[in-house]
Structure 1
Amino acid sequence: MKKIIQIAFSPAIFFLFNSLQAQVPAIEWQKCLGGSNNEAAFSIEQTAEGNFIVAGYSDSNDGDVTGNHGSDDYWIVKLDPASNILWQKSLGGNSIDEANSINQTADGGFIVAGFSYSNNGDVTGNNGADDYWIVKLDSTGDILWEKSLGGSGDDGANCIQQTFDGGFIVTGWSSSNDGDVTGNHGLWDYWLVKLDTSGSLEWEKSFGGSLNDMAYSVQQTIDGGFIVAGYSESSDGDVSGNHGFRDYWIIKTDADGNLLWQTFLGGTEYDEAHSIIQLKEGGYLVAGFAGSAYGDVTGNHG
């Protein structure tokens, strides 16, 4: 029987399933995790040993949650295949810290990315407002290193992946044009950051125009470059071909972050890409949401 596994940090619910048979999947188990305040999960992955790692935030310090530093903390939870908690960690400082992406690394540990307004507790080096906060954990959730990246504006990471060389590629948004950030075009830009294995900055690139441009997903491609997806409201700077207010904006870079091509998908309304993968034949599959019923978008149900 095809299975669904349902997991929730109240109130968000996530489904994972395999499609081995063409029948309606049944819920194998579901789990609500948290405390008496707010929790949300934004990223989940099955680990090499068959467990699950979940990342999001919590501002609780009771129930399933221990060690909160104040306000929202990164909340990292490892579950066994039957949904039992193996361990959980609250990471952050006394301000708002939210994890948006987690991946298991080649050494069996984990890399986590999101944003942080803190400059105490587990967080060092905040540049002002919110920064990318990148945290490397060992296999038991202990911090090996952490990095705050950004400038005096708003900077937040939505996606992190380990690269072929063992380093990391991170993307999200930035409104800064100082500190670690160069080349901002105005308001939010895609901010693409390459780190080495120890979290040191190798290079960074800002992509966008004079309005808001937000990256949600990045993947290294088979040629060693990167494909990035999100949305753009701009029609200047690096951006051309906008269909209306907000479109999917897909950019392809080389291995050093230099822009190779960019394309727009969408219509005249709100259209946002939230995930992109490269297919085995070399093309790309993009998913998100569309408020449009024109342009590239057909079949909108209302």
Structure 2
Amino acid sequence: MLKTPVYIYILFFASLLSSSAQIPEPDWNKQSGIRGCDFYTDILEDANKGYTVCGAVKIKGNSFDFELIRFTENGDTLWTKTIGTEKKEIPKRLTQLTDKSYVLMGSCTEGETQSCLLLKLDENGNEIWKKELSAEYTSVEDIISLSDNHFALAGSKSETPNDPKIWMATLDENGEFIMEKLFMTDMTGCARSIKEIPNGDFALAAQISEAGKNNCDIIAIRISPLGQAKWFSWIKTPDQKVWPACICCSPDSALMIVGWNGKCLNDINSADPIFDYDLVLNKINSSGEILWTKSVDREGSEGGNALTIRPDGTFIIAGIKATSFIGKIGPWLLNIDPDGNELNEKLLRLRFNNDHASRIINSSDGGFVVIGPGMQEEENTRSDGWIVKFRAL
């Protein structure tokens, strides 16, 4: 009797998994085409159908205004709202509350002073209220909607410029604080991403380091609805600069974190450390145990900005690939299985320098939507916001 080696079966089933988890082709794509510089930073599938995107448009010099754009399910523009003040505004994140209103979160700068700006808009993009958090909130990085038209913020809070602390808060429909908390106050840190877990807890992914150090680590924190930390999961990376960009709940009740890992090529404590950046992935179980940490380290630099869980249980990461020696540069999608193994990838068209796939969300028809280029430098003279809708397999 002929015996087939076990490894042949393993390879066979691995190939089936890989072939069944292809990244589909786009249904449609749109580019703003605005003369000058604009960019998109966040997207949601709107409760009124279609998609809503937040971004910024340059108005004069290096000054930007917020921009909110509503697209139909087919990518046609329904309306665009430009919202500005006398200050310079940079958008970061967008959420939609249970009454279908929006809360747009970003920063506003006047001279050397930067603060967080919150804008609440009705479902047609008309302003309901505007609030500027005090300058002691040195960074607000993420926002999520909660029940009862409430929402949560995550970032850092500091009384001194160079010693931020990991911070989160919940606010009511009028933008008034319900609860705010600081974590690991003996360290310097900033929460980069927040999610609400199905049982009502919160999960934070934060960057953390000793004050004045160039190296930093990732820390995940599980927090009760009342703001009490249930556990801390510290992912240490000595002599490296590592930070999360997105935290996501996986079907097995674990947490997935995607971000950037900077490996120092010279002395990390020097005045000018040089880093080679790679995409970093972490999986943590519901008790805070680190299950695995993986890095995508190829020729050049790679990075992950966001991830989403697909209906087949795999993940798609949105980021950037810069494999400069062989010309593979541009917005990048990477498909991985629940154990972090690479299945396939897709390089999107590079439109201009620093063009990232900055956010990715699932769509209700089984597909997904990606936007870019993400936040751009003030000195950029040319960039376009873009959106690509991928069909379901």
What range is the shorter-chain TM-score in?
0.7 to 0.9
Asked if 1:170 corresponds to 2:239, the answer is no
CA deviation vs aligned residue, 1:43-65 (integer Å, no higher than 9, x gap)? 1111134311100111128xxxx
RMSD after superposition = 3.2
Asked if 1:43 corresponds to 2:107, the answer is no
Q: Pick from 242, 246, 252 the counterpart of residue 159 of structure 1.
A: 246
| 3-state SS, counterpart of residue 115 of structure 1 | strand
Give 2:301's aligned residue.
212
Give 2:130's aligned residue.
30
Give 1:254's aligned residue.
337
Contact 1:151–1:176 (Cα < 8 Å) also in 2: no
Q: Pick from 254, 261, 264 the counterpart of residue 347 of structure 2.
A: 264
Distance 1:44 1:196 in 2: 23
Distance 1:106 1:208 in 2: 33
TM-score, normalization by structure 2:
0.60
Give 1:287's aligned residue.
371
Contact 2:121–2:129 (Cα < 8 Å) also in 1: no
How far 1:150 moved relative to its partner? 3.2
Contact 1:8–1:33 (Cα < 8 Å) also in 2: no
How far 1:13 moved relative to its partner? 3.3
Contact 1:2–1:17 (Cα < 8 Å) also in 2: no
Asked if 1:73 corresponds to 2:159, the answer is no
Distance 1:229-1:76 versus aligned 2 partners, 3 A rule: same
How far 1:275 moved relative to its partner? 0.5
Distance 2:339 2:289 in 1: 15
Distance 1:3-1:279 versus aligned 2 partners, 3 A rule: closer
CA deviation vs aligned residue, 1:255-300 (integer Å, no higher than 9, x gap)? 2111111111213522012101122333321112177989xx89xx
How far 1:14 moved relative to its partner? 5.0
Contact 1:271–1:292 (Cα < 8 Å) also in 2: no
Contact 2:103–2:121 (Cα < 8 Å) also in 1: yes
Give 1:137's aligned residue.
223
Structure whose alpha-carbon radius of gyration is higher = 2
Give 1:64's aligned residue.
none
Distance 1:169 1:96 in 2: 23
Q: Pick from 151, 169, 175 the counterpart of residue 83 of structure 1.
A: 175
| 3-state SS, counterpart of residue 86 of structure 1 | strand
Higher RCO by CA contacts (8 Å cutoff, separation 6 or greater): 2
Give 2:361's aligned residue.
277
Distance 2:280 2:145 in 1: 27
Gaps of 5+ in 2: 1-98, 108-113, 265-274, 375-379, 388-393
Asked if 1:58 corresponds to 2:157, the answer is yes
Displaced runs of 4+ in structure 1, greater than 3 A? 1-10, 12-19, 290-294
Q: Higher strand proportion, which one?
A: 2
Q: Higher helix proportion, which one?
A: 2
Distance 1:200-1:287 versus aligned 2 partners, 3 A rule: same
Distance 1:131 1:258 in 2: 23
Contact 1:7–1:31 (Cα < 8 Å) also in 2: no
Q: Pick from 234, 250, 260 the counterpart of residue 148 of structure 1.
A: 234
TM-score, normalization by structure 1:
0.76
How far 1:8 moved relative to its partner? 5.8
Give 1:231's aligned residue.
320
Gaps of 5+ in 1: 62-67, 120-125, 178-185
Distance 1:95-1:171 versus aligned 2 partners, 3 A rule: same
Distance 2:250 2:363 in 1: 17
Deviates more, 1:168-177 or 1:101-110: 168-177
Deviates more, 1:275-284 or 1:130-139: 275-284
Identity among equivalent positions (%) equals 22
Give 2:184's aligned residue.
92
